[in-house]
């Protein structure tokens, strides 16, 4: 698969970051130091990396209907670990923000 470079922007951040179409959005966020999303399952089954695509296109792999139902999918919601950019994208993070409390560390959520 040929890789293409895109610019992604998270709502509330003033700068774009670069992403390639062969990395899912969550991986691109991590590569660029954006650590708001906790490390979840990376398989579309936990829902902690839920985002809403405001502008742009993605290609998505299967996602748990528990976290992204058909109505949400139609409205632009995806799981960042299952969405690959197909254009420049602006998105809003709506998942569970990373919590660095002692309790969360104890159970491995950070």
First to last CA, the chain: 33
Answer whether residue 75 shows pLDDT above 70: yes
In this predicted structure, what is the pLDDT of residue 2? 87
Higher pLDDT, residue 33 or 23 = 23
Q: Distance between CA atoms of 26 and 14, rounded to whole angstroms? A: 18
Q: What average pLDDT does range 76-97 have in this prediction?
A: 93
Architecture of domain 5-106: Roll (3.10)
Q: What is the largest CA-CA distance in the chain?
A: 43
Cβ atoms of residues 20 and 5 within 8 Å: yes
CA–CA dist 51, 87 (Å, integer)? 16
Lowest mean pLDDT among 29-38, 64-73, 74-83: 29-38
Domain ranges of the chain: 5-106
pTM: 0.83
User: Binning pLDDT at 50, 70 and 90, where does residue 98 land?
Assistant: low
């Amino acid at each position: 698969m040929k890789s293409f470079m895109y610019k992604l922007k998270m709502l509330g951040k003033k700068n774009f970051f670069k992403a390639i179409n062969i990395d899912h959005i969550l991986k691109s966020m991590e590569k660029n130091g954006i650590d708001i999303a906790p490390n979840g399952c990376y398989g579309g089954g936990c829902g902690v990396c839920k985002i809403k695509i405001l502008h742009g296109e993605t290609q998505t792999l299967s996602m748990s209907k528990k976290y992204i139902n058909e109505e949400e999918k139609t409205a632009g919601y995806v799981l960042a670990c299952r969405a690959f950019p197909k254009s420049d994208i602006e998105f809003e993070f709506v998942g569970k923000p990373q919590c660095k409390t002692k309790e969360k560390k104890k159970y491995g959520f950070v």
